[in-house]
Amino acid sequence: MIDYRKDDFEDVLRDYDVVLHSLDDEALKKSLRVLKPGGKLISISGPPDPDFAREMGKPWILRPATRVLSHGIRTAAKRRQVGYSFLFMRASGSQLREITSLVDAGVIVPVVDRVFPFASTNEAMTYVDNGHAKGKVVVKVRDAS
């Protein structure tokens, strides 16, 4: 188990096939170092790559811009013999229904640290910002009927 307050994940983890990155630039660089050759780094918060612009059907002029934006991480990935790609997150009703069915069936078990009433949203945000959460922090908008 890795304690993010004391352990640096790149010192503990090795030879992973895939890393899903969602943090800052420093974690992006470290993520490359825990992959084995042939592995894949997928980022939802790093720089978009040219494939992203093509898949999204963006104008051709944006492809060189994404190439420049992602040049550093793509070059670092190539040096380590791993792949890099940017994944644009978007809401999908069908995917959310599938995830819901997996949660309902007990296949996915979310770890809920605390539930705050809507009126305590600021307190919930402070709780998360202070790094106290050991799981998901939920803000309850209304009671389930």
71-100 pLDDT, tens digit each: 999 999 999 999 999 998 888 899 899 999
Q: What percent of the chain has pLDDT over 70?
A: 98
Q: What is the pLDDT of residues 16-44, one digit of tens each?
A: 999 999 888 999 999 999 999 999 999 99
Q: Tell me if 2 is assigned to some domain.
A: no
Q: How many domains does the chain have?
A: 2
Q: Which helix (H) or strand (E) segment is 85 a member of?
A: strand 83-86
pTM for the predicted model, two decimal places: 0.67
Domain residues for 29? Answer: 9-86
What are the tokens at 84?
């890099």
Kindly state whether residues 26 and 82 are assigned to the same domain.
yes
CB 109 within 8 A of CB 99: no
What's at 145, amino acid-wise? S
Do residues 82 and 76 lie in contact, with contact meaning Cβ atoms separated by under 8 Å?
no
| Rounded Cα gap, residues 10 and 71, in angstroms | 22
